[in-house]
Amino acid sequence: MQTLYIDRRDSELDIQGSRLQVRIPGADKPFSVPLNVLEFLVVSASVRFSSTLLSRLNLAGITAVFLNPRKEEATSIAYGLLHNAADRRLMQYQVISDESCRLRYSTDLVRQKLRAQRAMLLRALRQRPDRRHGLFKGIQRLKSIEESLERVASVDSLRGIEGAGAAMYFQAYQCVFAPRLQFDGRNRRPPRDPVNVALSLTYTLMHAEAIRVLVSSGFDPQLGIYHLPSFGRESLACDLVEIYRPSIEHWVWRLFAEETLRLDHFAISEEADRPCILGKAGRAEYYRCYEHQARRWRKRMRRSARLWLARLQQDATLPAQPSSLADTFDDFDAGELFGGEP
């Protein structure tokens, strides 16, 4: 076991010795899990725990994610202490404080995301030839946007290009979903349809995965390269998740296409603050599938973090010979990102 999901209201959490104990309302006795087999604790219901629980989880190296199914922005992530190798963070600060270096790293990151988006649409085209017009149009537009990266002179300009690419991509992506899901593009805070609910939840969990990987590798997750530092935001984790978004979007599409998640798993209402909520049965299916898929994503994130660290070490040591992040993204090439050749 790597992740424990708590989705029962009024459950009680405690640590006894070296085990996490969970008492569920109505159960005859609590169950417990050894701390040394846990990496994540995900809580998506109102629970009770003592003030010492978080400190014990931190000492055990367990990342705790507290989700509010009705309020996406209320998510809290407790990831504990930073890695003891402070010299790695000093190299990180040194390298990304160079504007030309930031632009080079950011351009490589956006290029890989655009390629992964094209790969996602190509895979969709093979499975949905009836949507050829919209998908092919998106593929061609993303290719044109990628070619324009050669002329980018600043990170601000790069963000404009990446944003335009995202808009074109989602315009194509939405056409593969059934009309009954009412998915007509990306929306959030709160998400208004089942697809956006699933996307938002997966992005949130993957953000926590990225934080854990970066912290364990010695990075400062708050100091990003492409995403500027912002109060309370782990910007470097945002950078890492950015490349995985097309893979997340492919996985979410397959959940609906294969009817692992169905419309009846969601409660839809006219309430402005909670127009669409994933119900209990749907959450059970979602978490089961997510844990299976997340094992693959975790492995690749750990690999990319090691490669990022090696590149930072090289650039910090040899500033006169700047290198490209392109070499560090070979695990994000289209085929491997989606678990096979595109």
Residue 56: CATH number of its domain: 3.100.10.20
Q: Order of strands across the sheet with 3-6?
A: 3-6, 40-43, 63-66, 76-78
**Residue-level pLDDT at 321:** 43
Low-confidence ranges of the chain (pLDDT < 50): 319-335, 339-342
Report whether 43 contacts 79 (CB < 8 A).
no
Backbone angles phi, psi at 77, to 5 degrees: -125, 120
In our burial notation (b when 16+ CB lie closer than 10 A, e otherwise), range 303-325 reads: ebbebbbebbebbbeeeeeeeeb
DSSP state of 230: B
From residue 77, how far is each of 165, 234, 326 by CA, in Å?
30, 10, 30
**Residue-level pLDDT at 10:** 85
206 and 321 in a single domain? The answer is yes
269 and 128 in a single domain? The answer is yes
139 and 199 in a single domain? The answer is yes
Number of domains present in the structure of the chain: 2
Rounded Cα–Cα distance for residues 193 and 333 (Å): 31
**Residue-level pLDDT at 236:** 93
Last residue of a domain, one of 15, 31, 66: 66
Considering the domain boundaries, does residue 76 fall inside one? Answer: no
162 and 308 in a single domain? The answer is yes
Considering the domain boundaries, does residue 244 fall inside one? Answer: yes
Last residue of a domain, one of 11, 37, 66: 66
**Residue-level pLDDT at 273:** 67
**Residue-level pLDDT at 250:** 96
Report whether 336 contacts 118 (CB < 8 A).
no
Considering the domain boundaries, does residue 74 fall inside one? Answer: no
91 and 217 in a single domain? The answer is yes
Range of the domain at 277: 86-337
Residue 121: CATH number of its domain: 1.20.120.920
Tens-digit pLDDT profile for residues 273-302: 678 889 889 999 999 999 999 989 988 998
Whether the bond between 246 and the residue before it is cis, its omega within 30 degrees of 0, is no
Tens-digit pLDDT profile for residues 134-150: 999 999 999 999 999 98
Rounded Cα–Cα distance for residues 148 and 158 (Å): 10
**Residue-level pLDDT at 209:** 92
Tens-digit pLDDT profile for residues 215-264: 888 888 988 989 887 777 899 999 999 999 999 999 999 999 999 999 99
Q: Which helix (H) or strand (E) holds 311?
A: helix 280-317
**Residue-level pLDDT at 58:** 82
Tell me, what amino acid is at 246? P
Considering the domain boundaries, does residue 342 fall inside one? Answer: no
